[in-house]
Structure 1
Amino acid sequence: MILFYEEDGNWKEAVLMGFKITIAGLGLMGASLAKALRGWRNAAICGVETNAAVLERALAEGVIDSGYVLDETNAEEALDADLVVIALYPRAALDFLRGCARRAKEGALWSDLTGIKGPLIEEARRSMPAGAEFLGAHPMAGRESSGYAASDGKLFTGCNFIITPHEKNSREALSLLREMAAYAGAARVIETTPEIHDRMIAYTSQMAHVLAAAILNSGLLFESKGFEGGSFRDLTRVGTLNPEMWSELFSMNAAPLGGVLAELEDNIAVLRRLVEAGDQSELAAALASSTRRKEEYLKTPYTAAKEAAR
């Protein structure tokens, strides 16, 4: 609830108790968001989980104010929220929308934290009732470990927070999600389409995880102890991944990811031919080109600011 009061001749906004947030999934992302949003709008935070032990811990630690293992007896109460954030694996997020979106209350905003947008937006168009909105979101934050125990209220500090509005989203919904992202610590909110999001995430995130998996599947891995340096560690850092979640992300983003992997294969094939031909001059030219592209990338206004802040 938002009221206005007069002070020194000026109208000011006062946010009172009554705003409710429900977060579906209290793993790394969902629990981190619950911690990060403590105090925002004086909101009551409700957690929805399949694991009762996680709910008990989150309640005991004050991360949430109420919690539910969702079923028909409590779904209406759990989902009677002004903001519902789905922090589940991609296929579970789709199932949650299919099964629960019809319960969205009038005026509610639903969102998500998943790394794939196209399928979720399509499902939301089918499932969300009139009077409620779905606005996709994807904070570019995470870590190698997962689960509630790995959650951190500062996880989103300094991150890029991507939102994917569509033609039916209101300015109020965009404003609310931007406000949430800022309170959670995001440095920048980026608005884009679901299609562009999925294509760019295939390039900036998913391809790196595929590459790490390919390197770690090499027959040389276990012979490499003692020979590895910083470059090997950098390339394989994301190789300790969650197989269930990442296989869902890859398969649900098959066309964009397949496209960037095909281009990667082409680029590697060019370099391989030059290596096998022993053509040092052409190799040097190819490496100079990639180095120059990295330098140009870093000089663009936004990336330059990001690099300077490190």
Structure 2
Amino acid sequence: MNILVVGLGLIGGSLCKALKKYTYHTVTGCDLNHDIENAALRDVALDNVFDGSYKGYDLIVIALFPEASEKFLEKHASEIEKGTLITDVCGIKGGFSDRMKKISESVGLRYVGIHPMAGKEFGGYYNSTADLFVKANFIIAPFADSSEKDIELLTNVAKEIGAGKIVVTSPENHDKMIAYTSQLAHIVSSAYVKSPELGLECGFSGGSFQDMTRIATMNEKMWADLFMQNRENLQYELDTLISNLNKYSEALKNGDADRLRMLIAEGRELKEENLRHRVGQPN
């Protein structure tokens, strides 16, 4: 295929590198920062730099923040050749996907959103890597009337760049699950590092500290946008977490060791059951 990737940050840059390393597709890249475009050319992450024409592409991947993705499509949809498949890599779907679909179909384009579950502590093209998606979960979020051919095309791309478990689900279910599996974890990490002890942790921390704080370096502009667009699902998960945390707090305040052991055991048993379930799931 002839593929255009718009936005050469961590995900867009990694996608270009992965496509060049693992496939025979022709890859064109587009970024507002022309130095980044030239760096991608030097890295052989691209075959071509965008020349201003949106004609002749089989697939256009918009790898921008959600708000920027919408604005890009609104501005350029009419310039894209009719019948082209449009996708995005945003961590939000739901209403966002509804709007992207409406814009696309108004000018004869096809749209299905995707969400590769891959990332790093730090973003940007210079942190991108061809192997970012290897064994990563990969979500495809079509609509009820989306073409099976489009779903198959995106599934094949995911497989080609090394994705592990590929899940096809609705935009609404994507947002419900991501509120729990991703967005809540980012809020917890951000809140966790606000302890006054943070500056004194050196020499006292191990893997658990690193696991809890790794994603606190998230980009505030992008993640605030993601949180707000999914705020109802995320609020539910946050309220559930706070309710559960209060149970541990009450046990400590009351000096109730039996209650504390019971709460810890509940968590262990739930995670053990989750692990057993995962072992039985196909990749």
| Cα displacement (A) at 1:45 | 1.2
Matched positions, count = 282
Alignment of 1:56-71 (within 5 A): 56-68=38-50
Unaligned runs of 5+ in 2: none
> Would the aligned equivalents of 2:27 and 2:47 in 1 still touch at CA under 8 Å?
yes
Cα displacement string for residues 21-65 of structure 1 (whole angstroms, at most 9, x for unaligned residues):
000001110111111112776322111110010111112222112
TM-score, normalised by the number of residues in structure 1: 0.86
Q: Radius of gyration: which is bigger?
A: 1
Q: Does 1:262 align with 2:239?
A: yes
Q: Does 1:133 align with 2:110?
A: yes
> Would the aligned equivalents of 1:202 and 1:256 in 2 still touch at CA under 8 Å?
yes
CA distance in 1, matches of 2:43, 2:279: 38
Alignment of 1:203-282 (within 5 A): 203-282=180-259
Q: Hey, what does 1:171 align to over in structure 2? A: 148
Alignment of 1:22-61 (within 5 A): 22-38=4-20, 42-61=24-43
Alignment partner of 2:98 out of 118, 122, 144? 122
CA distance in 2, matches of 1:290, 1:25: 41
CA distance in 2, matches of 1:62, 1:228: 40
Give the fraction of aligned pairs with identical amino acids, expressed as a percent: 37
- Provide the alpha-carbon RMSD of the alignment: 1.9
> Would the aligned equivalents of 2:101 and 2:112 in 1 still touch at CA under 8 Å?
no
Cα displacement string for residues 116-174 of structure 1 (whole angstroms, at most 9, x for unaligned residues):
11233121232113542111100111111211111111110001110001023111101
Q: Hey, what does 2:263 align to over in structure 1? A: 286
Q: Does 1:82 align with 2:58?
A: yes
> Would the aligned equivalents of 1:137 and 1:164 in 2 still touch at CA under 8 Å?
yes
> Would the aligned equivalents of 2:20 and 2:44 in 1 still touch at CA under 8 Å?
no
Q: Hey, what does 1:13 align to over in structure 2? A: none
Cα displacement string for residues 187-232 of structure 1 (whole angstroms, at most 9, x for unaligned residues):
1210111111111111111111111111111122223333223222
Deviates more, 1:31-40 or 1:105-114: 31-40
Alignment partner of 2:82 out of 93, 102, 106? 106
CA distance in 1, matches of 2:76, 2:160: 27
Return structure 1 stretches of 4+ with deviation > 6 angstroms.
Answer: 303-306
Q: Hey, what does 2:272 align to over in structure 1? A: 295
CA distance in 2, matches of 1:60, 1:116: 32
Cα displacement string for residues 84-116 of structure 1 (whole angstroms, at most 9, x for unaligned residues):
001111211121122122333232111111111
Q: Which protein, 1 or 2, shows the higher relative CO under an 8 Å CA cutoff with sep ≥ 6? A: 2
Deviates more, 1:103-112 or 1:282-291: 103-112
Alignment partner of 1:96 out of 62, 69, 72? 72
Alignment partner of 1:191 out of 135, 145, 168? 168
CA distance in 1, matches of 2:280, 2:253: 35
Q: 1:92 to 1:79 in 2, by over 3 A?
A: farther
Task: Read off the aligned partner of 2:265 and give its amino acid letter.
Answer: A
Unaligned runs of 5+ in 1: 1-18
Cα displacement string for residues 63-83 of structure 1 (whole angstroms, at most 9, x for unaligned residues):
1122238xxxx2xx1354110
CA distance in 1, matches of 2:190, 2:11: 23
